[in-house]
Structure 1
Amino acid sequence: MDRNNHPRGTRNSRRETRKHSFSKKMVYLSIFTISLVLICGGVYATYAMQHKPKEASELENDDHYEKKEASLLEKIRKSQKQEDFEVSEQEKKDGYIQTLIYEPVSTESIPQFQAIKSELTTLIEAAQKNSPKDDEIKLVGCTKRLKLTDQVFSYQPVVKIYSWDQEKEDWSEKTELGKNTAFVNQKTKQPLSLQDIFMSEANMLAIQQVVQQKLLSESPDGNALIDGVLNMPKMTLDGTTFTYYPDKISLGLSENPTGKTELTLSYKDIAGYVNPDIIDPASIKEALPEPLDPNKKYISLTFDDGPNPETTPRLLDILKEKSVKATFFMLGQNVVKHEALVKRVAEEGHEVASHSYSHPQLTGVDAQRVKDEVQKTDKAIYHAIGKLPTDFRPPYGAVNKDVAMIIGKPIIQWSVDSQDWQSHNAQSIIKRIDDTAYNDTIVLMHDIHPETVDAVSTVIDHLRKEGYEILPSKELLGKKAKPLHMYYGSTDERPVQ
């Protein structure tokens, strides 16, 4: 068939098809064009936002931060310059974290410096690890020195963490302190030691008595623990751990029935046994009695071998009537029998001290017997009055260095012997004391003899007539008598040989 002879309808259909196809292409082209415009517009908008000129408020915020940062760094550096020892600065920048480390230029006066430096490094590394990664941080590490006394300086690693607070538009500060503090004796340039603080083994033994009493007092049942407490190993200057403070000290404890591994003592409780140059003077102010008046006369009345239920109560009545306080050196075997009487002695303000358990000559028995004589009496007195005796009088005055070490208490001798044990006569006792008494002496009597009790009232009257003030031996000695030493008066102190 001739194509010129196709029906009109067929030509029209093809024309419509081409027209529809063209329209469809135009739609796709329009969509593509619009999409391209939107994408390009978005990219441009993002670029424009990122690169548009900062507004005035943003410029002001940046300027504010820079000023605050400069002020902080100036403050940090000025603070380090104010330290009384020269330091060097090491600076490191890691992202948003700026670290400044200050080390002393000279470390000769800090024998523990390497340990301090090691802990400071650990503190800084921990702070860096724990700091936010997208916040501005300043870490400042240094060794802080404090003058605790004229002779003691402390050194401690310190890290200060400064974080930028967006809301407050300022730096916030936090301080991390090292766990270990180095204390240095500036006189010796050596680490502070117990030798510096307590000066002698004798004072260390005195401290042990205070520790034992404190452990018992803080226990709900001291009587149940007393054997273990009394048998604690001797504390020594070179074998006892400690933590020093200007107003107190914490001492490490050996194994004991209380379970405590450390005990803190205020210096005011051990004022007679500490070096005043090493501690804060205010910590022992008024802790010791005023020195005895050199223009007065003093004497102490002491009574051995009691208590006795027949004679001691009568003696207590006389002392109460005369307003006199005395010292009673008691035998443990009598304390056990007459606890109520012992309690009365203590409650009426007299000193209760130890005279052994059964009155042997301690230099003639073995070490275990000495220990038993001392500890059994300590237990008996503690059970009666809740306090351990702090002073000791050896029977017959017999003592040597080995015995004194086991006793572990000040040895209180006498300088005036009433010889009541020999005369058993009131008038002889009175005359003997009248004839031999002198200033700053300790009088030996025995409250187990009726004749002694008969003589006491007159003895007191005569001493007072001669101008004597009568004190318990502890007060006469200024409350600072120490173990391994013998005392015959406040000015007659002798080391036990």
Structure 2
Amino acid sequence: MKSFLKLATISLLTSQCFGNAAVKNNAKNTGTLATVYTECKKPGQFVLTFDDGPNAGTTERALNVLKKNGIIGTFFVNSANYVDLVNSVEARNIVKRAYEEGHDIGSHTYQHKDLFLAMEEGSLEINVDKNNEVISSIIGRTPVFFRPPLGNGGFTKEYCTAMNIPYDMRTEQVRQYLGERGMKVIMWNADTQDWNNKGNVQNSINELAKSLNAIGKSPQNSSFITLIHDVHDYSVDVILQQVIDYVKQNGYQIVSLAECIGEAPYLDGYNPNQSTANQSTNTGATTGTMPTVNSNINTEPGMNMNVGNTNTATSTLNSNSSLGKPIDLESASIKNFINSIFTVIFLALLNTLLY
């Protein structure tokens, strides 16, 4: 009888361990997908976002234009695209200036790498995690906002259905990877096409008009997130101001991305454009409802894919740039772990009593 009970005890312990392993693996495969945003939660709002920087000279001039107009933008930065953000003091100071002037700092990957290609190469960690570490080493905070290069990883099933184009299942893998890190995917529903309109500002205004002046669109029922690049002279010296003027003339209010989607830009809940009393104390803002996908969204073209010097020492990264989060005692993994402990203790006591 005692041998039978001992065998039963061992079986229960074994099943408990394998059961928890299965739960852990299942949780890993069914993690929360990162929310995708293409517009604001309130009509009449318009957001300016900047991709591919920083870049010496051009990003600083873009900041000057925003400051002159009293506008808060969002800068989606790369670590190895136009600059070596790890080792260039000048480049790091540009990002620091943007942050200190109240602009939201987001990630555009370390190397401006198509995330589908990054998955194949096994470089998601460097392009997502390491880029977050670099940004954190400069501003002391880990970004929540993420802009995927070329948009790959952000084109949802709803968008693909609306555009009658094939949906790529790899999108869910990208969104899961980002979701596990508390990040939000920021797409766009209006495009300046500034990279393709060098020397002709009217082309960029015409591109914006395709979205802002589309049938049924107005400040009373629509909102927009647009992209522009802070790495081209003509974009920051001519197109940017013209876009600002055009948007205002059409009755839209230019707001920060954080205000637009109602999410804090950093994992610690800090929002530079919100009063201290209203700052979030948790590691992520509320989930909210995914905005409707706008069918006018355009695919971002491949920009400068020169990754620069990627063989840089990581020792320069700030030791405080941890991606860790406070323990959530309500999470399934913690509950399973606690249950396992109690089960093991109970079975150990039972085995002792039997012998």
User: Shorter-chain TM-score: which interval?
Assistant: 0.5 to 0.7
**1:445 pairs with one of 228, 246, 250:** 228
1:329 is paired with a residue of what secondary structure? strand
- CA distance in 2: counterparts of 1:358 and 1:322, whole angstroms: 31
- In the alignment, which residue of structure 2 is the partner of 1:67? none
Given the alignment of the two structures, is residue 349 of structure 1 paired with residue 120 of structure 2, yes or no? Answer: no
Aligned to 2:164: none
Aligned residues: 206
- What residue number does 2:241 align with? 457
* CA positional deviation for 1:490: 4.4
Aligned-residue sequence identity (percent) comes to 33
Call closer, same or farther: CA 1:431–1:486 in 2, change over 3 Å: farther
Instruction: Provide the secondary structure at the position in 2 that maps to 1:357.
Output: coil
Cα deviation for residue 491 of structure 1 reads: 4.3
Q: Is the 8 A contact 2:96 2:138 kept in 1?
A: yes
Q: 1: CA distance between counterparts of 2:98 and 2:205?
A: 23
Equivalent position of 1:477 in the other structure: 261
Cα distance between partner residues in 2 of 1:393 and 1:430: 23
Q: Distance in 2 between matches of 1:292 and 1:392?
A: 18
- Cα distance, 1:292–1:436 mapped onto 2, change above 3 Å: closer
Contact 1:346/1:352 (8 A) holds in 2: yes
- Residue 292 of structure 1: CA displacement? 5.9
- The 1:466–1:373 alpha-carbon spacing in structure 2 relative to 1, beyond 3 Å, is same
Shift of 1:346: 0.4
Q: Write the distance in 2 (CA, Å) between the matches of 1:431 and 1:442.
A: 16
Deviations 1:331-365 (A, max 9, x none): 12233331000000001111000000111211123
* Closer/same/farther in 2, CA of residues 464 and 490 from structure 1, 3 Å limit: farther
After superposition, where does 1:120-269 map in structure 2 within 5 Å?
201-202=31-32
Matched AA of 1:405: Q
Structure 1 distance, partners of 2:247, 2:119, is 41
CA displacement at 1:420 relative to structure 2: 1.4
Moved more, 421-430 or 392-401: 421-430
Matched, 1:319 2:149: no
Normalised by the size of structure 1, how large is the TM-score? 0.38
Tell me, what secondary structure is at the counterpart of 2:56?
A: coil
**Structure-2 residue corresponding to 1:106:** none
* Offset, 1:306: 0.3
Match of 1:339 in 2: 92
Instruction: Choose the corresponding residue for 2:252, options 441, 464, 468.
Output: 468
Matched residue, 1:428: 203
Q: Residue 202 of structure 1: CA displacement?
A: 3.0
Are residue 402 (structure 1) and residue 173 (structure 2) matched?
A: yes
**Which residue number in structure 2 is paired with residue 411 of structure 1?**
185
CA displacement at 1:401 relative to structure 2: 1.1
Q: TM-score, normalised by structure 2?
A: 0.53
Helix, strand or coil: the match of 2:109? coil
How far residue 436 of structure 1 moved from its aligned partner, in angstroms, is 2.5
Larger Rg: 1
Partner of residue 140, structure 2: 386
1:427, distance to aligned residue in structure 2 (A): 2.9
* Equivalent in the alignment of 2:49: 302
Mapped contact 1:371–1:406 kept (Cα < 8 A): no
Structure 1 residues 24-63: aligned runs within 5 Å: none
The alignment partner of 1:328 has SS state of strand
Report SS of the residue matched to 1:299.
Answer: strand
Give structure 1 stretches of 5+ with no counterpart.
1-199, 207-290
Q: Select the structure with the greater relative contact order (CA < 8 A; seq sep ≥ 6).
A: 2
Please report how far the alpha carbon of residue 369 of structure 1 lies from its aligned counterpart in structure 2 after TM superposition: 0.6
Deviation at residue 430 of structure 1 after TM alignment: 2.7
Which one has a larger percent strand, Structure 1 or Structure 2? 1
- The code of the aligned residue for 1:466 comes to N
Q: How much is the aligned-residue C-alpha RMSD, in angstroms?
A: 3.1
- C-alpha distance in 2, partners of 1:379/1:480? 18
- Give the aligned residue type for 2:233: P
* 1:328–1:352 CA contact under 8 A, matched in 2: yes
